[in-house]
Structure 1
Amino acid sequence: MIIRRYLVKQVIETSLVVIALLTLIMMGGRLIKYFGIAAQGRLDASILFSIVGYRLPEFLTLILPLGFFIGLMLVFGRLYIDHEMAVLNSSGISRNHLARLLLPLTIAFLALQMILMVWVSPWGLRQYEQLSSTQAVRTGFDLVRPKEFVSSGVYTIYASDLSEDRKNLKDIVFYQRAEKEGKPNVVILAREATRVEIPNDPASVVDLIDGRRYELYPGQPRYTQAEFQRYRLRIENNKEEDVTGTQAEAMRISQLWEKRQDPVIESELGWRVFVPFAMIVALMLAVALSEVNPRQGRYYRLLPAILIFASLIVALMAIKTRITRAELGIWAYPAVLFTYAIVTLFFLRKPNLTAKLNLKLNK
């Protein structure tokens, strides 16, 4: 149908422009943040764009629904402003019929959103975490600057000089803060340090030459001391036993299903399964909220509509937090979506209700 092709083309073009702008704004701000971290010596500048690329699918899972909704609002608003909606209505085509014509496109966006949330975004997060984990254990030696202290997690490193290939350090001071109560802080002083390359080993391994190792117990008047001619130091991340929200976001859908009894896993599983259906609610809200008088302009209801749709996303995020704390069940996701859908459907079946309410309020 000609009308369907016309609407689909308009919605796709407008939505893509909005999504591109939102992505540019969000990723630009994140890139500036990473540049600041790299300037402080806490991040290798060569991996900046890799980090941004891996995080992009995660951001798109939030940008895509909002961009699609704004695109719908702009297209339907223009139909009213240019009197095209009046022509369509006089031809027997209502706004609800137009919504049905756009349903296949909405399902396509829903499928794209589900692919992003179920497969692409977790994969990007896994790659990002692997890159960050490697960077965290290597940052101290890879990014050390002469005569400056460089901190990375529980580690702090100082070197008076280093070679151009960053494999040999001179006059090393290494400090490791105790992560558990009762454990000692470790301080190592060495004349020289040499990087040891071990294939497929994410840890940073260094041979220290001619130095001393101290164990200091916080709050206690005791310490231990040992001298060495050569000491191999291995720095690696400690793995947490409990599953955190960030770890759950990076897990495969099959892993989530196997551990679905865990509240954190349950919240992430429901988030991936039900949130894509916000696309259907976006179509219904756009049809219900986009009606404007030509004198009012196409942007008259855009901001209130964005706030209403944003409230849906915020409600879903709040539910995710509550499920993580075992305060709600996974049923809360579809409950919120159905609530918004039913209220919107009520306004769609009563097209004059909004105008009557506004008239009463103005009186």
Structure 2
Amino acid sequence: MLFHSSLRKELSRSFGATLVVLVTIVMTMMLIRTLGLASKGSVNPQEVFLVMAYTVLGYMPTILSLSLFIAIVGTLSRMYRDSEMVIWFSSGRGLADFVEPLFRFAWPVLILIAVMALVGWPWANSQTMGMRQQYEQRSDIERVTPGEFRESSGRMRVFFIDKDTPDGATATNVFIWAIERGLQITTSARSGRIEDVGPNRFLMLSNGQRLERPLLPTSGLKISEFKTYGTRAGGSSDATANTTPPRARTTLSLLRDRSTAALGELGWRIGMLLAAINFVLLALTVSSVNPRVGRSGNLLFALFAFVIYYNLLNLGQSWISSGRYGMGTFMLLLHGGVFLIAVAWLGLRNNNWARRSKPGRLIAGGLATPQPSKIDPTT
């Protein structure tokens, strides 16, 4: 039908343009954030773009929901502004007749939102956390760049090396400044190499000197020379088994776990799909143009409604995780309440458009029906 095809075609153009703009904005923000983490040593500088890509992929459910919401609001507002809605209403179409073409357009996007929220979000988070943990578990000597002073992982030592081997296990002209047991220790050696001793990793220094100075001036210096000296280099030869946070766990593992943290994360993932469905109905109800407000008045109101709904969704995750509310109760109150409000609002607007005025003229007190004229028989 012309009604369905013309609406879906314009929605497709608007959705595509909005998605490109939002993805570009988010990628720029994530690039700045990831570069900041790389400068602090939390992310490998060589993996900046990979971390940024995983982060943007994790935010795709929110980006898709917002793009769908803006596309519907923008398209319908343009139709109101250009009087196209008046033509459809005059031809017998009500506002409720727009629900079917909107959902016929939105169902592939809704499926993609569900897949990204249930599968893509935890996978992207697990990949990002894996790269960050692997980078943070490096030994201190592996953090050092030849010719540069670098801090250790605990920020209690400073390393400097002149040259290193291609495998990064051996270095020459090693300098270490550290604070240990109330002492300021300066160690220098001609060479050093990495050795694994049990689960720990040590830096073995050769042919060097060690200077110990107390932080408080209570005693003098202590200088010692050594042929071989070992100091812990930080990190471990084996990755430390850490508890995986709920946001990086698969949806199936969350379903098996009945803890409040798992339920909070599961409620957020399912809530993203329910929120996207409600956003389609809300976009239909809030789309209108008031000449006194301006063209962007309803769009600002729609974005304000989106921000409130999305923040309530995130707030509900923390409430469920803390045990303040149950997952079913909160989802019923939030998503069910928004759905009822959207349906009731849609019904009100649809009935207003379907109402037909009775013949008559409008006066100050209301509608007056015309009265038959009286004829004076004497004239």
Aligned-pair CA distance for 1:166: 7.4
* Gap runs ≥5 in structure 2: 219-223, 354-379
> Which residue number in structure 2 is paired with residue 310 of structure 1?
307
Could you say what the CA RMSD is over the residues aligned between the two structures, in angstroms? 3.8
The C-alpha deviation readout for 1:73-125, integer Å capped at 9, x for no partner, is 10000111111111111111222211222112323222111100111121111
> Which residue number in structure 1 is paired with residue 192 of structure 2?
193
> Which residue number in structure 2 is paired with residue 12 of structure 1?
12
Contact 1:176–1:185 (Cα < 8 Å) also in 2: yes
Structure 1 distance, partners of 2:179, 2:114, is 43
The C-alpha deviation readout for 1:128-163, integer Å capped at 9, x for no partner, is 111111111228444424352324356644114233
Which is further off, 322-331 or 138-147? 138-147
- CA change 1:79–1:54 in 2 (3 A) is same
Amino acid at match of 1:275: M
Which is further off, 324-333 or 230-239? 230-239
> Which residue number in structure 1 is paired with residue 376 of structure 2?
none
TM-score, length-normalised on structure 1?
0.79
> Which residue number in structure 2 is paired with residue 101 of structure 1?
101
TM-score, length-normalised on structure 2?
0.76
* Gap runs ≥5 in structure 1: 178-182, 198-202, 356-363
Amino acid at match of 1:135: Y
For residues 166-185 of structure 1, what are the structure 2 equivalents within 5 Å?
Answer: 167=168, 168=171, 170-173=173-176
> Which residue number in structure 2 is paired with residue 346 of structure 1?
344
Amino acid at match of 1:318: L
> Which residue number in structure 1 is paired with residue 324 of structure 2?
327
Amino acid at match of 1:254: L
Contact 1:186–1:213 (Cα < 8 Å) also in 2: no
> Which residue number in structure 2 is paired with residue 53 of structure 1?
53
- CA change 1:354–1:86 in 2 (3 A) is closer
> Which residue number in structure 2 is paired with residue 71 of structure 1?
71
SS in 2 for 1:5: helix
Aligned-pair CA distance for 1:68: 1.0
> Which residue number in structure 2 is paired with residue 209 of structure 1?
205
Structure 1 distance, partners of 2:30, 2:267, is 27
1:149 is the counterpart of 2:150 = yes
Which is further off, 163-172 or 72-81? 163-172
SS in 1 for 2:114: helix
- CA change 1:27–1:8 in 2 (3 A) is same
> Which residue number in structure 2 is paired with residue 249 of structure 1?
247
Contact 2:31–2:52 (Cα < 8 Å) also in 1: yes
Equivalenced residues, count: 335
- CA change 1:165–1:92 in 2 (3 A) is same
> Which residue number in structure 2 is paired with residue 258 of structure 1?
256
- Considering only CA atoms, is the larger Rg found in Structure 1 or Structure 2? 2
- CA change 1:250–1:186 in 2 (3 A) is farther
- CA change 1:170–1:33 in 2 (3 A) is farther
The C-alpha deviation readout for 1:318-343, integer Å capped at 9, x for no partner, is 11011111111102023201111111
Structure 1 distance, partners of 2:228, 2:270, is 58
- CA change 1:229–1:328 in 2 (3 A) is same
In percent, how many aligned pairs have the same letter? 21
The C-alpha deviation readout for 1:177-203, integer Å capped at 9, x for no partner, is 9xxxxx999979462333579xxxxx9
Contact 2:30–2:56 (Cα < 8 Å) also in 1: no
Structure 2 distance, partners of 1:5, 1:174, is 71
Structure 2 distance, partners of 1:113, 1:282, is 13
SS in 2 for 1:173: strand
- CA change 1:131–1:204 in 2 (3 A) is farther
Contact 1:109–1:279 (Cα < 8 Å) also in 2: no
